[in-house]
């Protein structure tokens, strides 16, 4: 029902908006849809933990959603069932105290370029940025605190797609090996597909799976941009496609 309402609102907004405003409308509606999906995933995971009602089930929920809507209830159940639980670090201004305003803006830009939507680039680390940081941490097997330590901030500020190599190193590898070394997450692959679609190269779906439709779209985009036509991405190409 909610999905139907969102779809209707999206269609109505596009019809009403002038052409130059339609991208903004898509971003707004897309943000609402993502927020709803995350809430539904959180709710479903906690419901499953409740149905199982075991220590390991609640601990599994907390690993997935350390700052979720039901995290406090899950920790209470873990403690009642005799397990130990640690409270995640509360995101605060502490992790940005040593960062300049320009560095905070750059971190948000780079997170967006890597496919982690911050819901704005304003130098303020609000809920959208905290969620993006937590997802970035998850994909690198860091503790999902939503707060950056100095090493993590520097890693993001270096500004390379995870696992990317320099051009000189890439030249010694085949195109498929270069792309495989990027170690793109499914979310990043979906962002690449969305970027191709926005540019008019149909991937035949945005699902995070690089099938033949996506390979053809990558090749067509490379050809249109005077790149070597391989159907596989380099780190620089992935960043260009993910960036809005």
**Domain co-membership, 154 together with 199:** no
How many angstroms separate the CA atoms of 86 and 99, rounded?
27
How far apart are alpha carbons 157 and 180 in whole angstroms?
23
Residue 221 in contact with residue 240, Cβ under 8 Å? no
Q: What is the DSSP letter of 202?
A: -
Report whether pLDDT(166) > 50: no
Q: Is there a single domain that holds both residue 232 and residue 176?
A: yes
Identify the DSSP state of 146.
S
pLDDT given for residue 243 in this prediction: 77
Neighbours of 207 (CB within 10 A): 14
Neighbouring CB atoms inside 10 A of 183's CB total: 13
Instruction: Answer whether residue 143 is part of any domain.
Output: yes
Would you state the pLDDT for residue 31?
A: 53
In a domain, 88, yes or no: no
pLDDT of residue 175: 83
In the chain the first and final C-alpha atoms are separated, in Å, by: 30
* Domain match, 70 and 106 both: no
Give residue-wise pLDDT tens across range 56-78.
888 888 888 877 788 878 887 88
Rounded to 10°, the helix 175-182/235-242 angle is: 60
Percent pLDDT > 70 in the chain is 73
Report if residue 126 sits inside a domain. yes
Residue 193, domain member (yes or no): yes
Three-state secondary structure call for residue 206: coil
Which two tokens mark 64?
């997935």
Domain assignment present for 86: no
User: 145 near 66, Cβ under 8 Å?
Assistant: yes
Query: For residue 162, is pLDDT > 50?
Result: no
Dist CA 62 CA 65 (whole Å): 5
User: Which band of pLDDT confidence, cut at 50, 70 and 90, is reported for residue 15?
Assistant: low
Q: Domain range spanning residue 104? A: 93-158
pLDDT, tens digit, for every residue of 199-228?
Answer: 999 999 999 999 999 999 999 999 988 888
- pTM (2 decimals)? 0.38
Same domain, 49 and 30: yes
Q: How far is CA 14 from CA 23, 25, 37, 95, 97, in A?
A: 9, 7, 21, 39, 41
Question: Which of 13, 45, 80 is the last residue in one of the domains?
Answer: 80
User: Residue 230 pLDDT more than 60?
Assistant: yes
Categorize the per-residue pLDDT at 141 as very low, low, confident or very high, splitting at 50, 70 and 90. Answer: confident
Which of the two residues, 55 and 32, has the higher pLDDT score? Answer: 55
pLDDT value for 198: 92
Q: Which of residues 158, 182, 199 is at a domain's end?
A: 158
Question: How many domains would you assign to the chain?
Answer: 3
- Shared domain check, 213 and 154: no
């Amino acid at each position: 029902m909610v999905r139907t309402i969102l779809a209707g609102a999206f269609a109505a907004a596009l019809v009403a908006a002038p052409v130059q405003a339609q991208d903004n409308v898509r971003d707004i509606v897309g943000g609402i849809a993502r927020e709803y999906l995350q809430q539904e995933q959180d709710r479903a995971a906690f419901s499953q933990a409740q149905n199982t009602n075991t220590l390991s089930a609640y601990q599994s929920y907390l690993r997935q959603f350390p700052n979720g809507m039901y995290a406090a209830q899950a920790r209470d159940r873990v403690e009642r069932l005799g397990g130990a639980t640690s409270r995640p670090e509360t995101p605060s201004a502490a992790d940005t105290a040593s960062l300049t305003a320009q560095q905070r803006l750059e971190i948000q830009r780079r997170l967006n370029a890597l496919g982690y939507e911050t819901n704005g680039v304003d130098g303020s680390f609000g809920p959208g940025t905290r969620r993006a940081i937590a997802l970035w941490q998850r994909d690198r097997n860091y503790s999902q605190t939503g707060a950056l330590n100095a090493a993590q901030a520097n890693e993001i500020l270096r500004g390379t797609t995870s696992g990317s190599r320099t051009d000189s190193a890439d030249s010694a590898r085949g195109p498929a090996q270069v792309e495989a070394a990027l170690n793109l997450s499914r979310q990043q692959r979906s962002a690449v597909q969305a970027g191709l679609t926005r540019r008019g190269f149909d991937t035949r779906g945005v699902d995070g799976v690089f099938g033949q439709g996506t390979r053809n779209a990558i090749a067509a985009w490379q050809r249109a941009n005077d790149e070597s036509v391989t159907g596989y991405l380099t780190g620089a190409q992935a960043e260009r496609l993910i960036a809005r």
